[in-house]
Structures are given as C-alpha cells and as structure tokens.
Amino acid sequence: MAVAPLVIIPARFSASASAHRYRALSTARTLSEGVLRAGGEPLTVHPWAPGGAVDPDVVGQRLGYADAVLLPGGGDLDPARYGQVTASDDVYDVDAEQDAFDLAVARWALGAGVPLLAVCRGWQIVNVALGGDLEQHMATPHRHVVHDVRVDEGSRLASIVGTSTAASCFHHQRAARLGEGLVPVARATDGTVEAAELPGARGWFLAVQWHPEDTVDTDPDQLALFRALVTAAAS
C-alpha cells in the first residue's frame, strides 16, 4: 500500500477550545479533511518561535520530513512585519510567535522547493515574506462572501479549476504591493488579488485569498486544489 504524502499544516493558537480547559492549538477540520479527500495525510504542527523570532533553517530542521506545506487562514499579521504601524482598529488576533513561525515556514518551503499551497492569511504571509505588504482593512471586506473569480488563461490555477471558479471568502485585508516575483492570476471585481503564482519557484506553489476548505465537499474545483497540492507532494 502506497504511503500518503505528508502535508504539514501549521496550527493556529486558540485562547480556548471546548475539549480543553486552557489554551489550545487548532486546525480547521475541513482543511484537514480536504487533504484527506485529496489522498494526502494532514499533520498539524506546533508553531514554535519563542520571543517572536525563529530562523527558517531551524524550521526546516523540524519540518524536513514534509512532502508539502499548507499555510492556512487565521488572524491578522502584525503590520510592523510589513513596515507599517497599526493604523486600523480592525486588525485583530495578532500573535508575534504565530507570525514569526508562519513567515519562517513560508521562507523555508519556498527556499527548499517544498510544494506550498497558501490560503487566505497564508497567502498574505507569503506576500510579506517576499517583501510585499497588505491593506490593513478593506473598504468593503469579503466576509461570508461567495463570488465568482475569473482566472487567467495559461496559469497553473486555470489548469486546475479552469478560467472561472466560485470563491468562498472571509477576509478584511488583502495584498497591496506584491512581493518579489509574485504574479496575480485571479482578481475579484473590486481588484482584490484572489490568487497568485511564483514563476521560477524552486517547487510547486499556489496562493489563493479564498478558503477552498469551506466548500471542498461540494465543489470539485476546491477539491482539485487540494489534489494538485497532494500530487505535487507525491512527485
């Protein structure tokens, strides 16, 4: 029996959880299920960046066994990480250790050529890791929004979902200046970059601003995203 590719998902810190008395680690159940449905084996890992700093090489020593990485959604990245002060009262759930670990994971995966799918906050993390920045609060946030997204022909994303897909979104921030080498391949009607690729990356890479896990059990396009990651991990 073939061994399923191992897909690392950095956990999210949680102030509480129903099954625990104290602070907890969490991963969206539908996100893990998406990896399983696609034929991969999801593994949640503990973010570890004491004092809000960690070297990508240290992260690589911990995660070097990974066949792929899935950077998930979550709270907001500290604006200081992309050279801004906190100008918006809408910035929430900032955690220095979470930020440092996620950024190090992104830099390690990209540098090592490990297949990487970045989702929502995960996409924003990659953008900042490559020198980009974010709009701290959108005039019209995409919260509980499902909208059609046009995808550029010839892109990796188009080869997976075609030139149009239904994106389930929950975010109030978006990429502003794109990081080095990143190319937008899908936009919403308000100009929000909904997906990006990194031509010339050492490994398979795709980022989406939406949450494919929201509809992975009903929308073949979203399951196809997970399958593309697992296929890259297997190869």
Per-residue pLDDT of the chain (235 residues; tens, 9 = 90+): 678 999 999 999 987 677 777 888 999 999 999 999 999 999 999 999 999 999 999 999 999 999 999 999 999 999 999 999 987 899 999 999 999 999 999 999 999 999 999 999 999 999 999 999 999 999 999 999 999 999 999 999 999 999 999 999 999 999 999 999 999 999 999 999 999 999 999 999 999 999 999 999 999 999 999 999 999 999 9
Residue 142 lies in a domain: yes
| Residue 169 falls in the annotated catalytic set | no
End-to-end Cα spacing for the chain: 17
- Per the structure, the complete domain to which residue 36 belongs is given by 6-234
What residues form DSSP beta bridges with 172? none
Residue 71 lies in a domain: yes
| Residue 144 falls in the annotated catalytic set | no
Catalytic residue among 142, 171, 172, 211: 211
CATH number of the domain within which 167 lies = 3.40.50.880
Q: Is the dihedral of CA 116, 119, 122, 124 positive or negative?
A: positive
Place of tokens 């992309």: 82
Residue 105 lies in a domain: yes
Residue 89 lies in a domain: yes
| Residue 213 falls in the annotated catalytic set | yes
Residue 176 lies in a domain: yes
Predicted pLDDT of residue 1: 62
Tell me how many domains the chain contains.
1
Residue 141 lies in a domain: yes
Catalytic residue among 169, 171, 197, 213: 213
Distance CA 99, CA 75 (A): 9
| Residues contacting residue 222 through CB under 8 Å, at least 6 positions apart | 34, 165, 168, 212, 213, 214, 215, 216
